[in-house]
Amino acid sequence: MSIETTWFIAATQIPDGGIRLSPKPTDAELQALATSLDIIACTSLECELRVRALRQGHYHLTGKVKASVTQACVVSLEPVAGNIEEAIDVEFWPPDQIAVAAKTDEEGEFFDPEAKDMAEPIESGKIAYGRIVFECLSAGLEPYPRKPDATLQWQQTSESAEVHPFAALAKLKPKS
């Protein structure tokens, strides 16, 4: 069970004034999230979201995502704690309207001047906000987490000093 596939709301459940969502992940969802993100742990996740109807079956999802995560240090592989805070601002459109907005004329110009680059499809009448939360967390992860005191202890050995880029090719050269 992961938030990417289980956190959604049917478009028919969204009132005219919009709806606020504050989903609380279970321990199993936090573990599945950490596994999907390929990190050590996700210890907390808070979401404050709002979905409101726009026009022509379009919906606007806004809000904030906060998480506490533990990643592996790129130098020592020791755990590194971190916090993520990302803003969400995404529109959801019916899939057929996204396809129409993406069509271009001969000059490469978009037909729909109001088309947003970040429109997401409404899948089976559902707004999959869990996937957006997952993508925000993934984008917010530190790409190279490093402990402040982590250093790489590399020592050149006498054997590695003699090795040069073409050493393997030199062994193939016939001796005359």
Q: What is the DSSP letter of 55?
A: S
Residues of the chain with pLDDT > 70, as a percent, come to: 82
- Evaluate whether 71 touches 84 at the Cβ level (below 8 Å): no
Say whether pLDDT at 114 is over 90. Answer: no
- Evaluate whether 70 touches 87 at the Cβ level (below 8 Å): no
Read off the pLDDT band of 3 (50, 70, 90): confident
- The pTM of this model reads 0.74
**What CA–CA distance (Å, rounded) separates 140 from 129?**
17
Backbone angles phi, psi at 5, to 5 degrees: -105, -15
